């Protein structure tokens, strides 16, 4: 092929960065490590831009074959790369937001140990994520899928000496494994029944199947299993529990992996597999229901959290629920649109939260913040922008994408819409609550009483200092860029630019058709309702946390048990612990460990050894070193032989 874009370079570049920093980073200075990491990440971004520039001259989808991989009879899997509009959007989001977060991390992690390790992992994540989005077949996608899980595990447990971080990493990995199991089974079904894993082949094979409106056919099974995988990776009910715990990792990691990119892999996968889901409406309904429930469920938990990162984590889960809701009503481009804007504003929210945490010396509890507006104005401005964006205030990115989803949800089933709007209200409420608690009122932190909070190191950096201070420029510039994107990122909605751009991927601009069918009045009514919901949330938060700071406590105690349940995240973790973890651990301990391993396997080995030892111990007595005792044994042996012969003779 003459016009090869060398797509393989895009994932490989960060991998080179990983290798350099991983192998030699220990001897490098921090500057060198940062330079290496940023160079290779930047090169990947440059490649993505180059691809974007070339895209108009290409015939999409564009595939590039790198090498053959598995060949077994008719079945073949290659290392190939697949480029279409969907890939391009993901590519730009991953490399662009990724690069910004890399830059930010240089400032954020500067005083941390394991600086080179951090950037090595971060580049590794970029490699796998880019492999995932560029993959031309499901198996290659699966490599990326597992790889980002690995990178996520490594980075959540970055402070591995902290017990909670180490176990949060394990939890993320194990919960993801449940989802991956579903994904893997879906791949097996594809191999068996569709004979290929190539996107092109699979989708054309699927097109020959009738639409499974009822029953539980092949495509429904594949769709549901893919959904299980997506639910694991994208933290949907019931597998969302790992994401809030994943906040144990450094904040840039939460921004990059657990907000902007990796967790959206599930949405990407569902959108990529839209051909399958379109032929399995039942699976699609499950996607929509799970998404809606997750959005609502996580939003209610987010309302009562006090840890700034936990609020954002539940908010992420909730927003991912929106994306799944969009995919579930076959509005894939709306889902991807929200994915993109969410990457901007949620990435920004996490980075700004990191900047806040940095400013107050490692404190994450919002109850100990407050009044930070005057100390860290840039962080405040950017975070406020992101809050406006996620709350869906008109003009900001989140408004357009969320409205697009809600419109399509209304088309499919008004119930989704009602729950979606209610979630939007909650989102707006808890985000403004976060903003008000953090930046307004009086500073309630350690520095406020004049005591230097040196020993209060609750999380990340423990450089004890008095009053909060603004972060360095290297952290603020990414914040500003993302803030800009959080504003203008949604403007591609005007005139349906984004939808038209995505139309070739998701088939014939069905979204545009919907738009024609929906009357302008309805569209604007829906828009108005969700805008009102957003403002309601804003005013409620303003009322409760700025005007009457004592009131939330009263409401909380008035609600009693329900409030307790929400604070404890509906006891889902406890429930899982009782239902799955404890029986498993107990079973493993009692039956497998004490019973089988110690009782059977160890016992067999040890008893054999013991028996041999006792036998030898007895036999050892014969070798006393006493000559006459040897002679005695010889005589006894002779006597025995003689006796035997006599006995044989007598018989």
Q: Which residue ranges make up the site for other proteins (CB under 8 A)?
A: 625-628, 631-632, 635
Q: Which is nearer to other proteins, 587 or 632 (CB)?
A: 632
| Token pair listed for 393 | 């205030």
Per-residue buried b or exposed e for 497-519, using 16+ beta carbons within 10 Å of the residue's own CB:
ebbebbbebbeebbbeebbeeee
Minimum CB distance to other proteins, residue 626 (Å): 6
Minimum CB distance to other proteins, residue 628 (Å): 6
Minimum CB distance to other proteins, residue 632 (Å): 6
Opening angle at CA 482, ends 325 and 433, nearest 5: 65
Do 427 and 390 meet the contact criterion of CB atoms below 8 Å apart?
yes
Q: Which is nearer to other proteins, 631 or 645 (CB)?
A: 631
CA distances from 289 to 286, 297, 327 (A): 5, 12, 11
Minimum CB distance to other proteins, residue 627 (Å): 5
Q: Which is nearer to other proteins, 174 or 639 (CB)?
A: 639
DSSP 111-153: TSS-HHHHHHHHHHHHHHHHHHHHBSBHHHHHHHHHHHHHHHH
- My answer on whether omega of the bond before 238 falls inside 30° of 0, hence cis, is yes
Per the document, the length of the chain is 651
Q: Which is nearer to other proteins, 551 or 645 (CB)?
A: 645
| Token pair listed for 310 | 């936990």
Do 67 and 128 meet the contact criterion of CB atoms below 8 Å apart?
no
Q: Which is nearer to other proteins, 579 or 643 (CB)?
A: 643
Q: Which is nearer to other proteins, 532 or 634 (CB)?
A: 634
Coil, strand or helix: which one is 384?
helix
HEC string of 311-371 equals: HHHHHHHHHHHHHHHHHHCCCHHHHHHHHHHHHHHHHHHHHHHHHHHHHCCCCCEHHHCCC
Q: Which is nearer to other proteins, 592 or 635 (CB)?
A: 635
Q: How many CB atoms lie within 10 A of CB 635?
A: 11
Minimum CB distance to other proteins, residue 623 (Å): 11
Q: Which is nearer to other proteins, 174 or 642 (CB)?
A: 642
Residue that has been written with the tokens 């919901």 in this structure: 533
What is the spatial distance between Cα 164 and Cα 295, in angstroms, rounded to a whole number? 26
Minimum CB distance to other proteins, residue 24 (Å): 58
Q: Which is nearer to other proteins, 414 or 632 (CB)?
A: 632
Q: Which is nearer to other proteins, 548 or 623 (CB)?
A: 623
Q: Which is nearer to other proteins, 615 or 631 (CB)?
A: 631
Closest CA to 105 of 242, 244, 257, 233: 257
Coil, strand or helix: which one is 71?
strand
What is the spatial distance between Cα 362 and Cα 446, in angstroms, rounded to a whole number? 11
| Token pair listed for 524 | 């604007």
| Token pair listed for 114 | 């394991």
Minimum CB distance to other proteins, residue 619 (Å): 19
Do 339 and 268 meet the contact criterion of CB atoms below 8 Å apart?
yes
Minimum CB distance to other proteins, residue 600 (Å): 45
Minimum CB distance to other proteins, residue 630 (Å): 10
CA 279: distance to chain centroid?
27
Residue that has been written with the tokens 């953090």 in this structure: 438
Opening angle at CA 588, ends 580 and 591, nearest 5: 125
Minimum CB distance to other proteins, residue 645 (Å): 14
Minimum CB distance to other proteins, residue 649 (Å): 15
Minimum CB distance to other proteins, residue 624 (Å): 9
- Reported as type and span, the H/E element at residue 607 is helix 603-620
Minimum CB distance to other proteins, residue 635 (Å): 6
Q: Which is nearer to other proteins, 215 or 625 (CB)?
A: 625
Closest CA to 241 of 568, 459, 556: 568
Q: Which is nearer to other proteins, 204 or 629 (CB)?
A: 629
């Amino acid at each position: 092929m003459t016009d090869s874009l060398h797509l393989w370079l895009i994932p490989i570049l960060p991998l080179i960065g990983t290798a350099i920093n991983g192998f030699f980073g220990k001897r490098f200075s921090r500057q060198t490590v940062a330079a290496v990491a940023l160079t290779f990440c930047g090169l990947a971004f440059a490649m993505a831009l180059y691809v974007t520039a070339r895209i108009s001259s290409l015939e999409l989808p564009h595939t590039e074959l790198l090498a053959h991989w598995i060949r077994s009879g008719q079945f073949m899997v290659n290392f190939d790369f697949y480029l279409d509009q969907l890939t391009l959007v993901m590519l730009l989001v991953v490399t662009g937001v990724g690069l910004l977060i890399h830059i930010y991390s240089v400032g954020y992690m500067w005083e941390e140990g394991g600086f080179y390790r951090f950037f090595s992992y971060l580049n590794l994540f970029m490699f796998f994520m880019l492999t995932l989005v560029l993959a031309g077949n499901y198996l290659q996608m699966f490599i990326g899928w597992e790889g980002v899980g690995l990178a996520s595990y490594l980075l959540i447990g970055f402070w591995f000496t902290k017990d909670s971080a180490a176990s949060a990493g394990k939890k993320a990995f194990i919960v993801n494994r449940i989802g991956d199991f579903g994904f893997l089974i879906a791949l097996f079904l594809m191999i068996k029944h569709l004979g290929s894993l190539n996107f092109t082949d699979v989708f054309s094979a699927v097109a020959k199947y009738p639409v499974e409106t009822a029953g539980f056919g092949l495509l429904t099974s594949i769709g549901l299993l893919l959904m299980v995988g997506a639910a694991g990776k994208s933290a949907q009910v019931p597998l969302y529990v790992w994401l809030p715990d994943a906040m144990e990792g450094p904040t840039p990691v939460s921004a990059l992996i657990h907000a902007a990119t990796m967790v959206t892999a599930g949405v990407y996968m569902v959108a990529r597999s839209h051909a399958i889901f379109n032929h399995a409406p039942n699976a699609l309904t499950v996607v929509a229901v799970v998404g809606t429930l997750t959005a609502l469920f996580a939003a209610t938990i987010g309302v009562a959290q006090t840890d700034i990162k936990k609020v954002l984590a539940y908010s992420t889960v909730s927003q991912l629920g929106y994306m799944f809701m969009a995919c579930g009503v076959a509005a894939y481009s709306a889902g991807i649109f929200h994915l993109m804007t969410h990457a901007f504003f949620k990435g920004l929210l996490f980075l700004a939260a990191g900047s806040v945490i940095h400013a107050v010396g490692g404190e994450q509890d919002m109850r100990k913040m407050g009044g930070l507006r005057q100390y860290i104005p840039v962080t405040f401005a950017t975070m406020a922008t992101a809050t406006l964006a996620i709350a869906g205030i008109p003009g900001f990115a989140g408004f357009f994408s969320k409205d697009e989803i809600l419109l399509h949800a209304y088309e499919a089933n008004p119930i989704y819409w009602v729950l979606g709007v209610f979630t939007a209200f909650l989102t707006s409420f808890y985000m403004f609550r976060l903003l008000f608690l953090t930046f307004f009122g009086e500073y309630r932190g350690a520095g406020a009483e004049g005591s230097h909070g040196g020993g209060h190191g609750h999380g990340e950096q423990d450089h004890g200092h008095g009053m909060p201070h603004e972060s360095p420029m290297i952290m603020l510039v990414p914040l500003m860029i993302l803030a800009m994107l959080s504003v203008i990122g949604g403007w591609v909605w005007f005139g349906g630019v984004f939808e038209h751009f995505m139309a070739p991927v998701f088939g014939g601009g069905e979204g545009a058709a919907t738009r024609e069918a929906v009357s302008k009045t309805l569209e604007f009514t829906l828009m108005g309702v969700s805008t009102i919901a957003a403002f309601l949330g804003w005013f409620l938060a303003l009322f409760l946390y700025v005007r009457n700071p004592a009131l939330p406590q009263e409401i909380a105690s008035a609600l009693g048990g329900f409030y307790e349940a929400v604070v404890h995240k509906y006891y889902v973790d406890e429930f899982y612990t009782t239902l799955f973890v404890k029986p498993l651990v107990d079973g493993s301990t009692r039956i497998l460990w004490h019973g089988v391993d110690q009782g059977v396997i160890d016992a067999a080995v040890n008893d054999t050894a013991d028996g041999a030892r006792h036998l030898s111990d007895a036999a050892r007595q014969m070798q006393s070193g006493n000559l006459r005792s040897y002679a005695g044994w010889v005589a006894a042996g002779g006597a025995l032989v003689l006796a035997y012969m006599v006995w044989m003779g007598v018989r």
